[in-house]
Amino acid sequence: MTSDITNILVCGIGGQGVMTATEILAEAAIAEGHDVKKTEVAGMAQRGGVVTSHLRFGRKVLSPQIEPGTVQVLLGFEGAEALRWSHYLRPDGLALVNTARLVPPVVELGLFEYPDDPTGKMRDAGHRVVAFDAMTIARDLGEIRLGNTVMLGAIADYLPFSPEVLMACIDKRFARKGEKVVDANRQAFAAGREAVAKQMAAAPA
């Protein structure tokens, strides 16, 4: 399927920054002159609930809704959620998945069984998956909340514009919080890019 429209699906758990990450991706696409549409679905909007964002951009986008089987990049802030939405990937799509396990309330309530190996199940289904622990990367940088920017770094090399455009939007978002916060986010962004690059380099051809 050829299209000038890029479809990105971002999914995770409330409190992880799924919607903020989608907003920053949208801002970067707008900065590059794209028409942008996005939509959010919060299953349980409070912290800990399931959150999904659809982002579409290109020369002209008529609808924000992504159809299953058309996603170029699935950005999974949480493994089980990435698995749950993996049917949205194109056959040649890519899933970038945080392996840190965050059990959503539907599991704790006994309504949903957490899969043993979400990324393994995705690979078994034929999906191309790059898995990394964004939470540990953020913690090693001294701030767990940097996980959001680690995830943005992870997707930076798989967008139809340069990583510098995305980094500039992150800088702008955090500029008012001071140079120290901007620098921490730059480090997180670089660490996310590096984590994915290492996995890609190690993957069999």
pLDDT value, residue 203:
73
pLDDT of residue 2: 40
Compute the distance between CA of residue 86 and CA of residue 197 in angstroms, rounded to an integer: 21
> What pLDDT, on the 0 to 100 scale, is given for residue 47?
55
Torsion of CA 100, 106, 109, 110, to 10 degrees: -90
CB 9 within 8 A of CB 53: yes
In this prediction, residue 103 carries a pLDDT of: 65
For residue 48, the model assigns a pLDDT of 60
pLDDT at 51: 87
CA distance 71 to 7: 5
What pLDDT shows up at residue 3? 64
CA atoms of 170 and 173, how far apart (whole Å): 5
Superfamily of chain region 6-202: Pyruvate-ferredoxin oxidoreductase, PFOR, domain III (3.40.920.10)
Residue type, 5: I
What's the confidence (pLDDT) of residue 113?
Answer: 73
Q: What is the pLDDT of residue 1?
A: 33
| pLDDT value, residue 104 | 62
The predicted structure's pLDDT at residue 109: 65
Number of residues that this document lists for the chain: 205
**Helices (H), ranges, the chain:** 18-31, 79-84, 105-108, 118-124, 134-140, 147-155, 163-174, 179-202
- Predicted TM-score (pTM) of this structure: 0.91
- CB-CB contact of 151 with 98 (8 Å): yes
73, 11, 79, 82: which is closest to 41 by C-alpha? 11
Q: What is the pLDDT along the chain (205 residues), one digit of tens a residue?
A: 346 899 999 999 888 889 999 999 999 999 999 999 999 776 554 556 778 999 999 999 999 999 999 999 999 999 989 999 999 999 999 999 999 877 666 566 666 677 889 999 999 999 999 999 999 999 999 999 999 999 999 999 999 999 999 999 999 999 999 999 999 999 999 999 999 999 988 876 5
What's the pLDDT at 138?
A: 96
Domain ranges of the chain: 6-202
| CA dist list (Å): 174 to 137, 146, 161, 178, 186 | 19, 12, 21, 7, 10
CA-to-CA separations, 44 to 40, 78, 123, 168, in angstroms, rounded: 12, 15, 28, 32
The torsion angles phi and psi of 12, rounded to 5 degrees, stand at: 175, -155
